[in-house]
Structure 1
Amino acid sequence: MHKKLLDIQQLQDDYIARCNKMEKISIAVVHPCSADALNGVIESVNAGLIDPVLIGPEHKINAVANEINADISSFKLLDVPHSNAAAETAVKLVHQGKVEAIMKGSLHTDELMKEVVKRDGGLRTERRISHIFLMARETYHKPFIITDAAINITPDLMTKRDIVQNAIDLMRVVNPEITPKVGILSAVETITPAIQSTIDAACLCKMADRGQITGAIVDGPFAYDNVISAQAAKVKKIKSKVIGDVDIYLVPNLEAGNMLAKQLAFLTNAFSAGMILGAKVPIVLTSRSDGVKSRISSCAIAVMMVYAKKHCVEEEE
C-alpha cells in the first residue's frame, strides 16, 4: 500500500527530540546489573530523558559500571540485597511519589510483575495490565504495536478489550495525529466457532462499533498474511481499511505475540521498544537480551506517557 521505507534511526532521533521539549522523568531502575541495562540508563540520561534511581545490590551495580568504564557517581543508588527487594522498593517509590515510572533492569519479568500486580500495595488500576512491543521495520511505512506478548497468557474477551484499549491509548500518545487501525489476528479470516480467537475478534469489532472500545478503527479476524499484504487480501477477496496499514496487531495469545515479535526482531532486524500499560505509572519492560537502543526508545515512550497524563490532568483542572 505504501512503498516509502522507514528510517528507523531518524524515528528514534525524532522521539528523543520530541521528548527534549518535555520534562525528563524520575524513574526507578530495577536491578540494573548487566552492561546493556546500565548502558541503557546512561544513554537515556545523556539523551536528556530520565533522572534515574538505581535499585539493587550496590556492589553488583558498581562492578558493572567499572566493567563498562562508566561514572555513575551522580546517580542516586539504593542498595538492596537482591532483585526481589529491588522490585518491591521500586513500587514503594511510586506510592511515595518519588518516581514517575519504572524501568526493568536485568531481572526476570516475573520478579518485577509479582510486585506490580499485587492487589494490596501493587500498581493496579481499573484497566487490565498488558504489554506492548512498539516495533519498526524499514520495509513498513510506520511504527506498529504488537500486543500482548509478555503478560496475559490466554486472555479472554474482556481482557482483550483492555489490552487493545491500552494499545490504542498509547498509540494516540505516540502519534496524536492519527486514528489507529487495529488488526485482530487469528489463523483464519472468517468467523469459525472452533477457533475462539475469531469469535473474540467479531465481538471486539462490535464493541468498537458500540463505543466499548474507543479511538480506533478495529477489524478482524485476519490471518497475518491477509492483513499485512494487500495482494493476499485481494486474492481472498477481503476488504478492510486496516489492510496494509495496521498500527496495532492484537494477537490471540501470549505465545503467538511473543513469537511474532521476536521473529520480526531477529529475522528481519525490526527495532522494538517494550512497555507495560494499564498500571499507575509507565513501566519500561524490554527483554534482557534487548540492546541499548531499545531501552532508550522505551524511555522516550515513558516520557511521552508521563507528559500526556500531566497535560490531560492540567486541561481537566
Structure 2
Amino acid sequence: MINSLSDLLKAAQTQKKMRLVVAAAQDLDVLKAVSEAKQSNIIDGILVGDEEKIRTLAEENNIDLTQFRVIHKQDLMEAALEAVRLVSIGEADFVMKGILDTSILLKAVLDKEIGLRTDSLLSHVMVYEAEKYHKLLFLTDGGMNISPTLEDKKGILMNAIQSAKALGNKEVKVACLAAKEKVNEKMPATVDGAELKQLAMEGYFGEGVIVEGPIAFDLAVSKEAAEIKGYKSSVAGETDIILVPTIEVGNGIGKALTYMAKSKSAGIIMGAKAPVVLVSRADDSETKLYSIALGSVIAANS
C-alpha cells in the first residue's frame, strides 16, 4: 500500500511507463513537472498548446523539449480537444490540465464525439500527505460537485474508492463527514451519511469497503478524540477517504491542509475513461509532479 507521496512517485517509476498529454502546456510549473516526470521514467509526454510560448519557456529555463512531442494549438479549446482526442484514440493514457480554465478542459472531456465520457459522474479527488496523519488522506469532492445529492455521493464515493484501490488499499475506510454523529432530518449530511453506511454494509461499494457516517472530522482522523468522546468505529482515526457534504466544506478543508498545515497533495478527476490530472494554477511544480504520478498509477491500475 502507498502511504506517502514519495511512495507514490516510486510506484509510478517502477510500473509500466504511461503516456501523458498536456492541454495548454505553455506554463512553466507544468513544463518543470512534466520534464521531471519524464526524467524520473514515470511518463512519456505530448505537449499540446502554443508552441512558440512552450519553446520560449523551455529555452529560458533549460528544459529539454526533444524528449517530448509538441503539437501546436494556440486556441485553448482546440488544445483541450486535441489532448482529449489523443487519449480517446489510444495515443495517450491520461490527460493533464495546463494553463486553461477547468471548464474548457471538462467541455472537451465530455465532448460527445471525441470525449472521454462514461456513465459515471465526474468528481474531484485530492490526496493529501499531512504531517500529523499516518497515511494518505483522500478528500472528495471539493472541486467539482457543488451540492451533491445522495445519488451523486454514491458516484463520488465510487470514484474515490477506485482511486484508493489503485494505490494498493485493499481495505478502504470512508468517513461521511457531518457536524454530528446522530441522524437529524434537518441536517441532510447526517441522513446521507447513514444511508451510505447502510449501502456499504449491503455490499454496494464492493468488498473491503467500510463506510462510517455520519461522523465529524475530529473523529474521522483522530483515535484520541474518538476515545475521549467514547465513539467506537473501526474508521475512527483510520480514515482513508473523507466524503464531504458540499464543495465549500471540501474546498475549505483542502486549503486549510495546504496553507495552514503545509500538507503535500495531488489532484485528479475521476469518472472519465481516463484520469484527468487537475491542479490549481497556483500549485507549484512539486504538486503537479505528484499529480502526474497519481494519474499514472491510476491509469495503470484501473
Match of 2:185 in 1: 193
Give 1:86-235 correspondences, 5 Å limit.
86-176=79-169, 178-214=170-206, 215-235=208-228
Distance, in Å, in 2 between the alignment partners of 1:200 and 1:144 is: 21
Match of 1:297 in 2: 290
SS at match of 1:211: coil
Return the offset for 1:109: 1.3
SS at match of 1:298: helix
1:273 aligns with one of 266, 269, 281? 266
Q: What CA deviation, in whole Å up to 9, does each residue of 1:41-85 have, x standing for no partner?
A: 111111101111100011111122133222213311110122221
Return the offset for 1:255: 1.3
Q: What CA deviation, in whole Å up to 9, does each residue of 1:274-303 have, x standing for no partner?
A: 011111011111111111222222222222
Match of 2:56 in 1: 63
For residue 277 of structure 1, what is the amino acid of its counterpart? M
Distance, in Å, in 1 between the alignment partners of 2:116 and 2:145 is: 16
Q: Compute the TM-score of the two structures, normalised by the length of structure 1.
A: 0.90
Return the offset for 1:170: 1.2
Q: Compute the TM-score of the two structures, normalised by the length of structure 2.
A: 0.94
Return the offset for 1:305: 1.9
For residue 231 of structure 1, what is the amino acid of its counterpart? E
Return the offset for 1:120: 4.6
Q: What CA deviation, in whole Å up to 9, does each residue of 1:189-230 have, x standing for no partner?
A: 211111111111111111111122223110011121232233
For residue 262 of structure 2, what is the amino acid of its counterpart? N
SS at match of 2:224: helix
Matched, 1:237 2:234: no
Distance, in Å, in 1 between the alignment partners of 2:230 and 2:112 is: 47
Distance, in Å, in 1 between the alignment partners of 2:42 and 2:20 is: 10
Distance, in Å, in 2 between the alignment partners of 1:74 and 1:49 is: 13
Distance, in Å, in 2 between the alignment partners of 1:136 and 1:66 is: 33
Match of 2:13 in 1: 20
| RMSD of aligned Cα (Å) | 1.7
Give 1:26-65 correspondences, 5 Å limit.
26-65=19-58
Q: Is the 8 A contact 2:201 2:210 kept in 1?
A: no
For residue 244 of structure 1, what is the amino acid of its counterpart? G
SS at match of 2:67: coil
For residue 71 of structure 1, what is the amino acid of its counterpart? D
SS at match of 2:283: coil
SS at match of 2:158: helix
Q: Is the 8 A contact 2:109 2:116 kept in 1?
A: yes
Percent sequence identity over matched residues?
Answer: 35
SS at match of 1:233: helix
Match of 1:255 in 2: 248
For residue 155 of structure 1, what is the amino acid of its counterpart? P
